[in-house]
Structure 1
Amino acid sequence: MSSAIPDDVPSRTDGVDDRRAQWAAELPEVDTRGMAILGRARWITIAARGPIEAVFERHGIDTGEADVLFTLLRSGPPYRLRPTELYRSLMITSGGLTFRLNRLEKAGLVRRVAAEGDGRSLPVELTGEGIARARAAFREDMAVEADLLSALSEEEQRALSALLRTLMLSLADRDAGK
């Protein structure tokens, strides 16, 4: 496979196109389609990070804390999960979760409550302020993300989402050894 840029390149190119053209000249036998997709995905993630993190900052939380709050909120009433459920959902270590929970508890956004019939387990639940802040931050985050995607039509957004889902599931299957 050739690493050359396809003939259907739009009139406006980006840094990934430039890099692919350089690699096509240097190592023409190397297929750089992965760079065309994964390189752009990385750049998009980095570019979107600032505006999204600014939303969280306005709400007095960071990205990791937002993940915890949003996970508890989407779990539905009573907005409570065991720490094990939280850290598995967030794909972080229990130590990383403890750090986040301590900060959120100190801010009055979560509390640890005794589990019925199990004095050893302390599920985490959103406080009233935690629910309000999580809802407000999530609404604003989704508005910012919609704005970031506004260059694409709704149909293009659906198509891109479907393609990314296919790729994500393929990578998850690979990690699972399927």
Structure 2
Amino acid sequence: MDDNDRIDALVQQWADQRPDIDRDTMALLARLTRAAALVDARTESVAADYGVNRGDGDVMFALRRAGEPYRLSPTSLARALLMTTGTMTGRLDRLEKRGWIVRVPSAHDRRSLDVELTAEGRRLVDEAVTKHAAGQAEAVAPLTSRDRADLDRVTRKLVAHLAQG
């Protein structure tokens, strides 16, 4: 039984037990949740191919997106990735141990250090983001450009609504 069949079966069970509830919404959100989980699993798989977890990869991607010299303060990184500075410290320690980042004196504050991608870290990120982007393209391959535009439009609306609380 495939995922769509399982979702249909789950919704049918609710229909049998509680015909008064909105099963269409239940099915829609179950499919969105399952799609998100499948995309997340693919992303984790790409990270694992490079010997990191997704969180460590997110740090490296954030540094690469920052542009030359691929450097940010640990506080800026933590804020951008919505994590505590304690969690960030552990990630930075792991990445530094592998030679993918270095801590360098801050240009703005002599008392602090910034985090910078090494040349090897940048090479690795560029390779990984290419693979990641190809995987994303494959994930949405069955959708037409109109499907993608419609999905983008409605998910933007949904995210905006849900973010309001």
User: Considering the TM-score relative to the shorter chain, is it more than 0.5?
Assistant: yes
Instruction: Measure how far apart 1:121 and its partner are.
Output: 1.9
Q: Paired residues, what number?
A: 162
Structure 2: gaps of 5 or more residues: none
Which of 115, 122, 127 aligns to 1:131? It is 122
4+ runs deviating over 6 angstroms = none
Give the letter aligned to residue 19 of structure 1. L
In the alignment, is residue 92 of structure 1 matched against residue 78 of structure 2? no
> Using a 3 Å threshold, how does the CA distance of structure 1 residues 60 and 30 change in structure 2: closer, same or farther?
same
Alignment-derived partner of residue 44 in structure 1: 35
Instruction: Measure how far apart 1:117 and its partner are.
Output: 4.5
Alignment of 1:25-174 (within 5 A): 25-174=16-165
Alignment-derived partner of residue 6 in structure 1: none
Instruction: Measure how far apart 1:161 and its partner are.
Output: 1.8
Give the letter aligned to residue 158 of structure 2. L
Which is worse superposed, 48-57 or 125-134? 48-57
Cα distance in 2 for partners of 1:32, 1:125 equals: 50
Name the structure where helix makes up a greater proportion of residues. 2
Cα distance in 2 for partners of 1:103, 1:71 equals: 16
The answer to whether the 8 Å contact 1:16/1:35 transfers is no
3-state SS, counterpart of residue 99 of structure 2: coil
Instruction: Measure how far apart 1:156 and its partner are.
Output: 0.8
User: Between the two proteins, what is the percent identity of the paired residues?
Assistant: 38
Cα distance in 2 for partners of 1:114, 1:105 equals: 15
Cα distance in 1 for partners of 2:5, 2:22 equals: 18
Task: Quote the RMSD (CA, aligned, Å).
Answer: 1.6
Cα distance in 2 for partners of 1:18, 1:88 equals: 42
3-state SS, counterpart of residue 14 of structure 1: helix
3-state SS, counterpart of residue 106 of structure 2: coil
TM-score with structure 1 setting the length: 0.83
